[in-house]
Structure 1
Amino acid sequence: MSAFIEVQGAEVTFQTRKGPFQALRDIDLKIEKGEFVTLIGHSGCGKSTLLNLIAGLLAPTGGVLICDNREIKGPGPERGVVFQNHSLLPWLTCFDNVYLAVERVFSATEGKPALKARTAAALELVGMSHATHKRPHEISGGMKQRVGIARALAMEPKVLLMDEPFGALDALTRAKLQDELLKIVARTKSTVVMVTHDVDEAVLLSDRIVMMTNGPSATIGEIHDVRLAHPRDRVALAEDPVYVQARKAVIDFLYTRHAHVEKVAA
């Protein structure tokens, strides 16, 4: 039986002024339905490039990507994307930012009352009902990210793709949203692929951690199974031997066997 998402021999080469630049090579990855997978590695290792391939925002130079038994040939509503920058339209309210996505996906089959109900339900899911009529400049960074997540979830995507969604937030806000994300995924049963730089975030959230080698020509170095039951409590996990071992495995890969060496001008 095939996996829900399959990446088969994918590679990406960009044409630059200095010639071809191979960002990714030989990417083979299978993701099961309902699985939470994080992509981690040093800057420039192609994490976001791989995520963009799955999103259909970027076409592979070689290989093929499949989602739900269909080849990925471009963006689609079955794959919702949450970027590090919330990307909300500043002139629209929180409600209207989410409604815009809902209308795009469901307007052909549902009337306005149903579309509005979907929008309200998505905002309630991320705890943002109180900010329905506020515009992005009137709410905090963490709240903007909640609305961005609501917008993606409102389309009822089969896959939720997240590119460092909490990277720009302070530690307390980030921790709160991580916990909320775990609850949301438990309710929606979404398949999630998330890019992160944060080892603790990867271990807390993931079923599997995909560790990338350094670029250029980056590929998948190792995949670590995080054998921790759900729901997960960050306080209880701090001294859990499985959590500690998973964290050590990722740190060992990133900072011992694949330490990032900066080029220093002579």
Structure 2
Amino acid sequence: MKPLVQIQNVGMSFETKKGRFVALRDINLQINEGEVVSLIGHSGCGKSTLLNLIAGLTLPTDGALICNGREIAGPGPERAVVFQNHSLLPWLTCFDNVYLGVERVFGQKEGKDKLRARTQAAIEMVHMGHAATKYPGEISGGMKQRIGIARAFAMEPKILLMDEPFGALDALTRAALQDELIGVMQKTGATVVMVTHDVDEAVLLSDRVVMLTNGPAATIGEILDVRLDKPRDRLTLATDAEYTRCRAAIIEFLYQKQVRKAA
């Protein structure tokens, strides 16, 4: 597979009142086209910091990040971000929230009819066509997150970055959106990097799970290959031996190796 993102000897430090705080050190990772990678670890291990570095929202103190052959020097339309908070503009309809992103990326290349068609297709892809004219305040949290995902996919990014996109949702809504995301990723062949605290979510969605050590000065502790056929069905996986193995490996890392070190 062709590498889309290369993270080379990356470190991230912050200056604080108490001195220099090292959040990440010696991060080396390659993310291939069409791959789904989850970042998992205890709170404060730098998962979101690493995602922000890939997004270009912050720049590394050490090392370099390369996307599609170019060094990441700031945000770009080839890297779309879905945050835990849907980040929809409350004064715009669901359609207009998605259209805003589409227009910024494709506005100088395509006419309004094509922009609107692209927007509508993205909304339909997440099964939200019935709510296109509604405002964010008129729909549920799960629906808002669907629109946020539609907006990201409508921009046709090279890579989709997701920071605990389902973390604020109840269990049933989260499961429904995970299944929705599996369908969308299957259709688009998207490359995805996702921050999660949920072991089951990481195994269900990922090709690889990157496990970070405890912070400060966190780094990659282990990388788990998830050898499960796609598309995946959560009911079938519940009794699958490979699913159980992957889940146990992550739990062992998080709750035995890392907890023991912290103690």
Q: Same fold (TM over 0.5)?
A: yes
Amino acid at match of 1:50: L
Residues 1-266 of structure 1: matches in 2 within 5 Å? Answer: 3-259=3-259
Unaligned runs of 5+ in 2: none
Distance 1:104 1:260 in 2: 48
Amino acid at match of 2:74: G
Runs of 4 or more above 2 Å deviation: 260-263
Deviation at 1:146, TM superposition (A): 0.2
Deviation at 1:259, TM superposition (A): 1.4
Deviation at 1:49, TM superposition (A): 0.3
Native 8 Å contact 1:78 1:159 kept in 2: yes
Deviation at 1:3, TM superposition (A): 1.6
Deviations 1:43-83 (A, max 9, x none): 00000000000001010001000111111111111111000
Deviation at 1:4, TM superposition (A): 1.2
Q: Give the 3-state SS of the residue equivalent to 1:77 in structure 2.
A: coil
Deviations 1:185-212 (A, max 9, x none): 0100110000000000000000000000
Distance 1:252 1:83 in 2: 28
- TM-score norm. by structure 1 comes to 0.97
Native 8 Å contact 1:8 1:63 kept in 2: yes
- TM-score norm. by structure 2 comes to 0.98
Instruction: Report the RMSD for the aligned CA atoms in angstroms.
Output: 1.3
Unaligned runs of 5+ in 1: none
Identity %: 69
Native 8 Å contact 1:42 1:260 kept in 2: no
Q: Give the 3-state SS of the residue equivalent to 1:258 in structure 2.
A: helix
User: How many equivalent pairs are there?
Assistant: 263
Distance 1:132 1:246 in 2: 39
Amino acid at match of 2:119: T
Distance 1:33 1:118 in 2: 23
